Structure 1
Amino acid sequence: MNHTSLFSRFARIMSRMLGHPLAFGLAALIIVVWLICGPVFHFSDTWQLFINTGTTIITFLMVFLIQNTQSRDSEAMQVKLDELISALKQADNTILDSEDLSEGDLKRLQEHYSHLAQLAQSRLPQHNAPSSL
């Protein structure tokens, strides 16, 4: 059942690699080498342009990789939550696929569940709350 696209597989692999501490260390090493090269290039505009261009290109590409992996993770989580909701007999199945609702509908659902949470909290036994000074 593993029919992920080539880009999705690439994004997942790159996400794991670039999230590793060694990747951070390599990036920090590149910055240190660039700083050391500053006096050699007399801190020229080209020296500055090199790091600016490199970091801009890397950042631009990373945005797409991060977005792809976050979208996939979010969709997978939503499917898992939908499965849990549908598996519980007492659960409200009308909230399945709630990610496709309008902002107004989502706000009403949020208010409904906030109200239910407040009701549940009001039924909890009252402990000695610290008095305000």
Structure 2
Amino acid sequence: MREPSVFARIAQGASCQAGRSWAFVAAATVVLVWAATGPVFGFSDTWQLVINTGTTIITFLMVFLIQHAQNRDTQAIHAKLDELIRATQGAHNRLIALEDQSEEELARTREELRRVAEASQAVVREALPLAGARR
């Protein structure tokens, strides 16, 4: 198995830590300390710029970390679902790697599956009164 890249290890670690309660407490503490120092700095433009710049930089970096984690999770889920489709008898193998289809192909596949589901529901509805009559 291949060793993850340095970015992947940093992104995975940072996204795990950012979701913990201590990270929220630390962020809230920073905001409270910043707010408490307002009177000391006379609520100056520089005082406001400090929090604005800090939160902008952190938000900018977190977007990339969150997107990386989301991409990784999505790829893992797709791989697991593809394996379930492959291993399930009667499943449509053409659904494997469905995410790689064009928007039009995806829409056609979804419509076809919707029709199959509706037909299955109609069969079940027709069978239910018969099952009740036998009792």
TM-score by structure 1 length? 0.89
Partner Cα separation in structure 1 for residue 108 and residue 20 of structure 2? 41
Question: CA shift at 1:2, angstroms?
Answer: 4.7
Say which structure is richer in helix. 2
Question: CA shift at 1:95, angstroms?
Answer: 1.5
Code of the aligned partner of 2:37: C
Q: Does 1:117 align with 2:111?
A: no
1:20-99 aligned at under 5 Å gives the runs 20-99=20-99
Aligned residues: 127
Code of the aligned partner of 1:19: G
Task: Specify the alignment match of 2:133 in structure 1.
Answer: none
Code of the aligned partner of 1:35: A
Q: Following TM superposition, where does structure 1 have runs of at least 4 consecutive aligned residues deviating by more than 4 angstroms?
A: none
The range that moved more, 47-56 or 116-125, is 116-125
TM-score by structure 2 length? 0.88
- SS of the residue aligned with 2:4? coil
Aligned-pair Cα RMSD in Å: 1.5
Partner Cα separation in structure 2 for residue 35 and residue 116 of structure 1? 59
Question: CA shift at 1:89, angstroms?
Answer: 2.1
Unaligned runs of 5+ in 2: 130-135
Code of the aligned partner of 2:111: E
